[in-house]
């Protein structure tokens, strides 16, 4: 019987291992983490992350063949396959700060594996890491191995938050990279056999280590590039009277391009896209490829431009001042069906409006007030090193930001409302009631193109939708910088 241990009980480690345990009832799966509160939450009725379908999977296997523990060393010692799914954030200090991946957590996990192991193991890179990280990990493991054999595999994860369980049940592909040696191929087969419990073998792609590592960065860069492409197009649509939804549909029906991932938005967020592109940029630069680095830099720049363009549109539409005006923010998570706020575009938009002295009333169905206040008080890239709430400077943010528990309260007496996350519940709000309770003129700024702009205009709203033809009111306002 194989025993699996996963180091890191986060957004990837938790759901991935829960599905693995469900699909492989004869395998014992233990997810370990240094964070006691996180493990306690995994063992409780209130899981540490919100993900549709996750609770059901966990309930089916927890205590049978799925366990969550802080006893990291014991479970690593006992296991045959060790997944490492720790965080690999952008470095905030030192060499490569602002771009390179911070491998501190990864390296400490690797050293711990080497320290406690007394039998041979397959060590699986689940975290997204720079290409050739496996080489460094191999060195750490073999230099400290006391004669034990370690095989390193790269098995990057492609799940998206909000659809993690669905993605894990039916992945487009599973990617496994390993050494081209007999032992390397044997390790690949062992991991392939695990996934083959539920993934058709023809969808399990096996490559060399470097291809697997780089494919993960490449996939995220390609996906983010599509969003920046359609977002750059959205600015041109607004300037010319074209409609970005129609353009995206016309472009996406070309089978070479495809229809998915072409929704114009206030910008992409999440813990992966920006971090992984910055990492890719750094790797290109380190390999003497500045032109390739500059190409990818532009994807991040356009994303920043889109977030600021949106916030500027809000201010310019309201006579170029939002000072003292109440503005409702509907949605703070980086996408619907998650409570995750890492790199959410809402942070940039809110900070910009706060800087213009707006009073924000924020509502999100899943994000806690504490999290919102923390996010709005932090410098960029600080999300991975949260400070305790009491250390957060209260001035400014606490006076200007109010976090409320429903959309109607958020919009009451507001001059404008901004939709920043595409939560389904925002589509079915009673906008007539909202309009009646708002200041006039009442503005809607839809950063996700989820509201019915025609209906809202009939009610009396002035509506801005990303990449759509502008109301005459908005056309008459000064151009957005
Ligand atoms: P996360 O921050 O939610 O979870 C990481 C966990 O690792 C934390 O709970 C942390 O306490 C724990 N940890 C750190 N060092 C440890 C150590 N030495 N021993 C034990 N536990 C340790 O991160 P995540 O979102 O799950 O991402 C993990 C990795 O997967 C990252 O490399 C990320 O880029 C990649 N990834 C994330 C997603 C996503 O949607 N979030 C998707 C694909 C890939
Ligand atoms: C992403 C990748 O999709 C996933 O494969 C990888 O494993 C982790 O990173 P995630 O960040 O969870 O997943 O969500 P995703 O659905 O990719 O959305 C990322 C951001 O792009 C969100 O802010 C989303 O709102 C935005 N987005 C997505 C758009 O603005 N337009 C689109 O058409 C699609």
What are the tens digits of pLDDT across the range 224-276?
999 999 999 999 999 999 999 999 999 999 999 999 999 999 999 999 999 99
The pLDDT of residue 17 is 98
Interface ipTM above 0.95: yes
Range(s) of the domain holding residue 30 = 3-199
271 touches ligand 1 (CB under 6 Å):
yes
How many whole angstroms from 460 Cα to the centroid of ligand 1?
Answer: 46
Contact 155, 167 (CB under 8 A): no
88 touches ligand 1 (CB under 6 Å):
yes
Distance in angstroms (rounded) separating the CA atoms of residues 268 and 331: 14
Atom of ligand 2 nearest to the CA of 162: 12
- Specify whether 186 is located in the same domain as 48: yes
- Specify whether 325 is located in the same domain as 461: yes
DSSP H helical ranges for 144-197: 164-169, 182-195
Contact 127, 88 (CB under 8 A): yes
Residue 187 sits in a domain whose CATH number is 3.40.50.720
Q: Which residues pair with 178 in a beta bridge?
A: 208
Distance in angstroms (rounded) separating the CA atoms of residues 153 and 159: 18
* Domain end among 199, 231, 260: 199
Q: Is 286 a catalytic residue?
A: no
476 pLDDT higher than 90: no
How many whole angstroms from 184 Cα to the centroid of ligand 1?
Answer: 25
- Specify whether 340 is located in the same domain as 393: yes
Give residues with Cβ within 8 angstroms of 147, minimum separation 6: none
Atom of ligand 1 nearest to the CA of 271: 41
- Specify whether 17 is located in the same domain as 79: yes
Catalytic residue among 272, 284, 350, 418: 272
How many whole angstroms from 124 Cα to the centroid of ligand 1?
Answer: 14
Instruction: Please report, for residues 266, 315, 479, the alpha-carbon distance to residue 233 in angstroms, rounded to integers and kept in the order given.
Output: 13, 22, 17
Backbone region of residue 157 per phi and psi (left: phi > 0; alpha: psi in -120 to 50; beta: other values): beta
- Specify whether 361 is located in the same domain as 259: yes
Whether 22 is in a domain gets the answer yes
Of 325, 346, 340, 344, the C-alpha closest to 416 is 325
The pLDDT of residue 386 is 46
Give residues with Cβ within 8 angstroms of 47, minimum separation 6: 14, 41, 54, 55, 58
* Domain end among 165, 199, 233: 199
- Specify whether 149 is located in the same domain as 277: no
The pLDDT of residue 398 is 74
393 pLDDT higher than 70: no
161 pLDDT higher than 90: yes
The pLDDT of residue 478 is 67
Query: Whose CA is closest to atom 1 on ligand 1?
Result: 10
Q: Could you give the percent of the chain with pLDDT greater than 70?
A: 95
- Specify whether 251 is located in the same domain as 194: no
Whether 479 is in a domain gets the answer no
Query: Whose CA is closest to atom 17 on ligand 1?
Result: 109
How many whole angstroms from 85 Cα to the centroid of ligand 1?
Answer: 5
Query: Whose CA is closest to atom 32 on ligand 1?
Result: 127
Whether 472 is in a domain gets the answer no
Q: Which two tokens stand for residue 298?
A: 């532009």
Whether 160 is in a domain gets the answer yes
Of 234, 245, 361, 357, the C-alpha closest to 307 is 234
- Specify whether 446 is located in the same domain as 314: yes
Task: Quick: pLDDT tens for 90-130.
Answer: 999 999 999 999 999 999 999 999 999 999 999 999 999 99
Q: Which two tokens stand for residue 233?
A: 């197009």
Would you list the DSSP string of 388-449?
PGGGS--TTHHHHEEE-SSHHHHHTT-SEEEE-S--GGGTT--HHHHHHTS-SS-EEEESSS
Instruction: Please report, for residues 282, 318, 460, the alpha-carbon distance to residue 415 in angstroms, rounded to integers and kept in the order given.
Output: 43, 8, 13
Contact 354, 337 (CB under 8 A): no
Name every protein residue with a CB atom under 6 angstroms from any ligand 2 atom.
157-161, 220, 223, 227, 261-263, 265, 268-270, 272-273, 334-335
- Specify whether 43 is located in the same domain as 101: yes
Quick check: pTM over 0.90? yes
Distance in angstroms (rounded) separating the CA atoms of residues 478 and 462: 16
Whether 372 is in a domain gets the answer yes
Give yes or no for a cis peptide into 134 (omega within 30° of 0).
no
- Specify whether 252 is located in the same domain as 178: no
394 pLDDT higher than 60: no
Contact 262, 244 (CB under 8 A): no
Whether 388 is in a domain gets the answer yes
Residue 392 banded pLDDT, cuts 50, 70, 90? very low
Distance in angstroms (rounded) separating the CA atoms of residues 315 and 309: 10
DSSP 8-state class, residue 27: S
Contact 451, 424 (CB under 8 A): no
332 touches ligand 1 (CB under 6 Å):
no
Atom of ligand 2 nearest to the CA of 11: 12
Whether 318 is in a domain gets the answer yes
* Domain end among 199, 227, 253: 199
176 pLDDT higher than 60: yes
Domain count, the chain: 2
Distance in angstroms (rounded) separating the CA atoms of residues 155 and 86: 13
Task: Quick: pLDDT tens for 24-63.
Answer: 999 999 999 999 999 999 999 999 999 999 999 999 999 9
- Of all ligands present, the nearest one to the C-alpha of 113 is 1
Dihedral sign, Cα of residue 244, residue 246, residue 249, residue 252:
negative
- Specify whether 158 is located in the same domain as 249: no
Query: Whose CA is closest to atom 37 on ligand 1?
Result: 12
- Residues making up the annotated binding site for substrate are 157-161, 216-223, 256-269, 334-335, 448
Task: Quick: pLDDT tens for 178-225.
Answer: 999 999 999 999 999 999 999 999 999 999 999 999 999 999 999 999
- Specify whether 323 is located in the same domain as 454: yes
Of 68, 64, 81, the C-alpha closest to 25 is 64
How many whole angstroms from 439 Cα to the centroid of ligand 2?
Answer: 34
Distance in angstroms (rounded) separating the CA atoms of residues 133 and 124: 12
The pLDDT of residue 385 is 45
Whether 38 is in a domain gets the answer yes
């Amino acid at each position: 019987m194989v025993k699996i241990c996963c180091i890191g009980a986060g957004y990837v480690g938790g759901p991935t291992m829960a599905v693995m345990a469900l699909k492989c009832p004869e395998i014992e799966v233990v997810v370990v983490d240094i964070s006691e509160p996180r493990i306690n939450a995994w063992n409780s009725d209130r899981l540490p992350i919100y993900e549709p379908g996750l609770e059901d999977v966990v309930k089916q296997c927890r205590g049978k063949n799925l366990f969550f523990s802080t006893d990291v060393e014991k479970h690593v010692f006992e296991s045959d396959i060790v997944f490492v799914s720790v965080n690999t954030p952008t470095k905030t200090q030192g060499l490569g700060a602002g771009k390179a991946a911070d491998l501190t957590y990864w390296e400490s996990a690797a050293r711990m594996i080497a320290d406690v192991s007394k039998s041979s193991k397959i060590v699986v890179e689940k975290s997204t890491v720079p290409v050739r990280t496996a080489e460094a990990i191999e060195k750490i493991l073999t230099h400290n191995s006391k004669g034990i054999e370690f095989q390193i595999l790269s098995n990057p994860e492609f799940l998206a938050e909000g659809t993690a369980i669905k993605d894990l049940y039916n992945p487009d592909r599973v990617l496994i990279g390993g050494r081209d040696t007999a032992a390397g191929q044997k390790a690949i087969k062992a991991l392939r056999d695990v996934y083959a419990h539920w993934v058709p073998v023809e969808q399990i792609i096996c490559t060399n280590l470097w291809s697997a590592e780089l494919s993960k960065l490449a996939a995220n860069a390609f996906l983010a590039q599509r969003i920046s492409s359609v977002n750059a197009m959205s600015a041109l649509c607004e300037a010319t009277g074209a409609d970005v939804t129609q353009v995206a549909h016309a472009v996406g029906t070309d089978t070479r391009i495809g229809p998915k991932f072409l929704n114009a938005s206030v910008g992409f967020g999440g813990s992966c896209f920006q971090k992984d592109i910055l990492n890719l940029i750094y790797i290109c630069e380190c390999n003497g490829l500045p032109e390739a680095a500059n190409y990818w830099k532009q994807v991040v720049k356009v994303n920043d431009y889109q977030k600021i363009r949106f916030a500027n549109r809000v201010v310019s539409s309201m006579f170029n001042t939002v000072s003292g005006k109440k503005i409702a923010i509907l949605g703070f998570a980086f996408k619907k069906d998650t409570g995750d706020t890492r790199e959410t575009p809402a942070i940039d938009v809110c900070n910009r409006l706060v800087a213009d002295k707006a009073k924000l009333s924020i509502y999100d169905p899943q994000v806690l007030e504490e999290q919102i206040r923390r996010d709005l008080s932090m410098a960029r890239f600080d999300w991975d090193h949260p400070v305790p709430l009491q250390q957060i400077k209260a001035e400014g943010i606490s006076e200007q930001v109010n976090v409320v528990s429903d959309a109607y309260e958020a919009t009451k007496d507001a001059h404008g409302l901004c939709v920043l996350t595409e939560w389904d519940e925002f589509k079915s709000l009673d906008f007539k009631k909202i309009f009646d309770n708002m200041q006039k003129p009442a503005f809607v700024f839809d950063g996700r193109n989820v509201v019915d702009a025609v209906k809202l205009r009939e009610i009396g709203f002035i509506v801005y939708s990303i990449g759509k033809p502008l109301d005459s009111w908005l056309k008459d306002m000064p151009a957005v910088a």
